[in-house]
Amino acid sequence: MSAWLFLATTLTVAPPQGGVLPGEQAAYEEMLAQQARTANNLFAGSACPDARAEAVSVRPWRIMDHPELIVWREKVRVTGCGHTAIENINAGRIGGSPPWRMTTGLPGQSLAEMTLQDSTFPAAAAQARAGLEAKCQSVSLNDAYIAARPGGVDVSPPGAPGLQAHAGRPAIGLPDTVRPMLDKLSLSEAWMEVWPFNICGHDRTLAVVFIPLKDHTSSLYLFLPVWQQVEAHGPGARPVAVSPAE
């Protein structure tokens, strides 16, 4: 994964003009498939040499600090060994041989930018592991999804009466540890994702609530142990997925 900062544009079916030149298509597709399979191996927690990679969609992007670069995001479906995932590959033409640089985000759907994914994932994996035997190091992550869009989470400040959750609209209370930075948080922009972890065969699904700072330089994240509800009530206890955009 990478610290590139991307802004989305229109969904397309091919890399933007100049991203892949005539005669380069086969080399590009091979590199993209290998990147997607590598990501699948990482998040599935095991290798699947025979996995099939199939491009699903392409979205042109741009890097704010380098608008002259040609960059885009590919969604690639990887299927094999009884597992299917949607891998997110950021690609950019930077020259050299091969002329592309590729980085990988979390599988599925996430509204978190790459730097936020990078900083959140290790803490989320550690939270998912909590309470299990120390020798249990096998971590896999199925496709993440959006459970509440920005503005779709009711957030209570520390010490305030808890808000009642409604169908399709989660509610959380902030811990006292957040109090020193409360005035810097944009509570009205909070969103929630579901990250379906599996640790050594144990369902350890987490809900991850992101609350952006008012200056949008970063976001606070909080973890909710959805796996406890799944353990008590079955897979139907997971929050329902929503579209990333209305």
pLDDT, tens only, 30-79: 999 999 999 999 999 999 999 999 999 999 988 878 888 999 999 999 99
Give the residues across from 195 on adjacent strands. Answer: 206
Average pLDDT on 130-150 reads 92
Please state the length of the chain: 246
| 153, pLDDT greater than 90 | yes
Residue 213 burial (CB count, 10 A)? 14
Q: Are strands 154-156 and 171-173 parallel, antiparallel or unpaired?
A: parallel
How confident is residue 168, by pLDDT bands cut at 50, 70 and 90?
confident
How confident is residue 24, by pLDDT bands cut at 50, 70 and 90?
very high
Q: Side chain identity at 41, as an amino acid letter?
A: N
Q: Side chain identity at 146, as an amino acid letter?
A: I
- CB-CB contact of 15 with 122 (8 Å): no
How confident is residue 162, by pLDDT bands cut at 50, 70 and 90?
low
Q: What is the pLDDT of residue 13?
A: 66
Q: Which helix (H) or strand (E) holds 242?
A: none
Q: What is the pLDDT of residue 1?
A: 37
Q: What is the pLDDT of residue 128?
A: 95
* Sheet-wide strand order for 139-141: 139-141, 197-199, 202-203
Q: What is the pLDDT of residue 114?
A: 87
| 8, pLDDT greater than 60 | no
Alpha-carbon distances, residue 99 vs 55, 84, 115, 202 (angstroms): 19, 29, 23, 41
Q: What percent of the chain has pLDDT over 90?
A: 80
| 143, pLDDT greater than 50 | yes
Average pLDDT on 118-139 reads 92
Average pLDDT on 140-152 reads 96
Q: What is the pLDDT of residue 59?
A: 92
